[in-house]
Amino acid sequence: MFHIMSMPNLALAVSIDMEQLTSDIVASISSAPRGTLNDALQQALARTVEARVHAQTAALLEGIGDAFYSLDAHWRFAYINRAAEAYFGLPRQAMLHKVIWDMFPESEGTDLRRRYEEVSLYGAPLSFEAEAVGRPGRHLEFHVFPYNGGVGVSFRDWTERNAAVEALRENDTRLKIATDAAEMGVWDWEIATDKVTMSDRAKAICGLAGSVAVSRETLLDTVHSADWDRFVQQVQRALDPAIREKRPFEYRIMRPDGSTAWVLAHGEVIFGSVDGEVRALRYVGTLQDITARKEAEEALRESEARLSALADNMPLGMVFQITMGRQREGRRFMYVSQNCLRVNGITPEKALEDPANLDGLILPEHLPHLIAIEAEALRDLKPMDVEVQMRHAVTGEVRWFQIISAPRLLPNGWLVWDGIQNDITQRKRVADALCQSEERLRTILNELPVGVMLMQVPQGDILFHNGKSTDLLGFKPTSAENMENLLQQGAEHPDGTPYQACEYPIARTLLTGEEIDQKEILYRRPDGRVTHLSMSSTLIPDPSGAESFAVSAFYDVTEQKRAETRQRLLINELNHRVKNTLATVQSLASQSFQRISPDPDSIAAARRAFESRLFALARGHDVLTRENWEGGNLREVVNEAFAAYRSLHPDGSDAIEIDGSDLWVTPPMVLSLSMALHELCTNALKYGALRASGGQVKISWSAVPEPTGTRLLLRWEEHGGPPVSPPARKGFGSRLIQDGVARELNGAAQVVYEPTGVICTIDVPLP
């Protein structure tokens, strides 16, 4: 939409018209003869009706809510309502009676202008959404339609609506991700209609198939009888407008297969006014299967009860006491908890009988480390903490254990070690999985076609970089490098001045927390090569608040920038060629129909000549199109020109002889030579060598180097046809050949009418 637009106040104009109308009526009645009095009154009445219609129309257009303006048949602004005036922020008078295209030259070539012109041309209304001209980022909905001999346009700004729709879509996506990650189902009860909707996960938690239709009775039937009263009380408190209970509650359900499960329900009632009374309208919430958690809690309670009674009921390890002398003499277990059998596969009695029965389960490769740690703790009388692998005496499974023990010196000089053996297999597996995950992530990042660096805030130390960052920056950043030194490598402004360290996107993020999205910079690598990089950076806060990080992602857009440059050049070239082609077609039409008589045969002949010349021009375009309009092979141009004129002699030989090497010529040469060869072929077919059965045409060319540059010499020679004499006047074909070559190719063409046949020579410079 055009970013400024205004119109005069139509209501004011109507008011002025009514005052003028009153004066006109008085003047008409007082000055008109008696016989014409009725006519004056009728005219005044008509103007009154028309003024009222205009006033009502203006009031309607002012009250529709949408912005509206109209254009007359000459694209001049005829009206703008207040909504449009407010949207564009200028008084209406600034635009009235002015041509819209003059006011907004940037609309030239836009899709918006094309649609306006389409409505004006065909008279069919159009409705569409488009980006506002002159207001980047603003999206409008347009209704364009024929109006009072011109067009009317109403529009409204949908930018905020589109943003809201997108935000809602993102919220829905985040909600789904959150519920999926938490393995939660969603339910919705419309109280007025008693309609219940459940997500597939919620149905699965209740043991229902995803295709099963769910009702309120279906849900109530799943509630365990032991929790029914508490369930009903919770729902009633939630539905009560005076209470509006929102607390989550846990209860058991009975699934159709007979199994029992624990669920955690979070719900909230939506209240509204119905007949002046506040009522519950909807009850929505989530459902989560907490059976595993409840079972774990029950196991934990039991474990705590056992631990409070006996230490030998530890769930993940065992408690032990060892006594020995300072030189490890007399080493034996004083106490081993009952968990020893489950954890290690031997009974406590076996361990008490001989410590080797338990010590022997430690894998041999861990023994030297364990003995060294124990000796150090014994020397300093300090606790020891060591991790070892042990083999289960029954299952043979190897698991990781953490042994924590502290020595106590007894009055008699002996030592007692109070210790605990904890099974840390799962922790080790998680740690290994984390390491593997980090390694996979590192591998993925290194395979990305985007440079990635992770830095510490605010120091700027590089904690990680992938391989692509090395390729893009031309050197290998390391964690020892300071960010300020890293950034002073070669980024430049368009005028060639180097970036200051604080200007880099990642530096701005590090210093101010600013989030940068795809900032393009000109970067000069250490090897001197200049590239265009698109850089993005953002902060990654640590949930604990201890430290933060900044990540920078960047990629090479050099080829994209080059492609954009090439595209602009191609568009400019295309515009130039289209104009030249239209000029050529105009010239062909003018010359083909300039000297025709009104009789049908003359008109038909002129039309055939015009069409054949257009076909010749089209064949030249075909050659260029196959080569992406970068030029063409001269031999291919010649073959295309002769395709419609080739004929065979009775002996099987070709009437046209071609002699020349492959030679690349420019687009203007392709078109001009195509037209010239067509004219020569047409003339030879009508009057020359191609007319006679034994006639022959030979065309040859060569590239001749000269001090001023290489030139193309092309020769056309006919023989074996009827005798030739110079024409009485120079026809269009001759002018096209001679003048066209001189004008379009900066060369020269000469046509000689020898009695044995026409000879044409063309001499043009090659690029």
Count CB neighbours of 332 within 10 A: 13
Question: Comparing 359-368, 412-421, 445-454, 623-632, which segment has the lowest mean pLDDT?
Answer: 623-632
The pLDDT of residue 644 is above 70: no
**Which residue would you say has higher pLDDT here, 51 or 677?**
677
Largest CA distance in the chain: 147
Summarize pLDDT for 88-135 with one digit per residue, the tens.
777 888 888 888 888 888 888 888 889 999 999 998 999 988 887 767
**Beta pairing, strands 696-706 & 709-719:** antiparallel
Summarize pLDDT for 190-242 with one digit per residue, the tens.
988 889 888 888 899 999 888 888 888 888 889 999 999 999 999 999 999 99
Beta bridge partners of 289: 263
Quick one: how many helices (H) and strands (E) in the chain?
23, 28
**Which residue would you say has higher pLDDT here, 546 or 680?**
680
Three-class DSSP category at 557: coil
Band of pLDDT at residue 344, cut at 50, 70 and 90 = very high
The pLDDT of residue 25 is above 50: no
- The pLDDT of residue 507 is 78
- The pLDDT of residue 15 is 38
**Beta pairing, strands 384-391 & 195-198:** unpaired
**Which residue would you say has higher pLDDT here, 581 or 112?**
112
Band of pLDDT at residue 251, cut at 50, 70 and 90 = very high
Cα 489 to Cα 498: distance, rounded to the nearest angstrom: 9
- The average pLDDT across 687-694 equals 80
- The pLDDT of residue 730 is 73
Band of pLDDT at residue 480, cut at 50, 70 and 90 = very low
Mean pLDDT of the chain: 79
Contacts 24+ apart (CB under 8 A), 637-645: 637/665, 637/670, 637/673, 637/674, 637/677, 638/677, 638/699, 640/674, 641/616, 641/673, 641/674, 641/677, 641/678, 641/681, 642/677, 642/681, 643/619, 644/615, 644/681, 645/681, 645/684, 645/685, 645/690
Closest alpha carbon to 454 in 556, 549, 554: 549
Burial letters for 504-536: b for 16+ Cβ neighbours within 10 Å, e otherwise?
A: bbbbbbbbeeeebeebebbbbeeeeeebbbbbb
Most confident of 17-21, 222-226, 463-467: 222-226
- The pLDDT of residue 16 is 39
- Rg of the chain over all Cα atoms, to the nearest angstrom: 46
**Per the confidence metrics, is the pTM higher than 0.85?**
no
Band of pLDDT at residue 549, cut at 50, 70 and 90 = confident
- The pLDDT of residue 23 is 52
Band of pLDDT at residue 367, cut at 50, 70 and 90 = very high
Beta bridge partners of 440: none
The pLDDT of residue 599 is above 60: yes
Q: How many residues does the chain have?
A: 767
Closest alpha carbon to 629 in 664, 674, 578, 666: 666
- The pLDDT of residue 303 is 66
Question: Comparing 36-50, 284-298, 332-346, which segment has the lowest mean pLDDT?
Answer: 36-50
Q: Give the angle 755-760-762 at the CA atoms, nearest 5°.
A: 160
Beta carbons within 8 Å of 352's beta carbon, 6+ residues apart: 332, 333, 336
Identity of the amino acid at 333: F
The pLDDT of residue 330 is above 80: yes
Q: Is the peptide bond before 458 cis (omega within 30 degrees of 0)?
A: yes
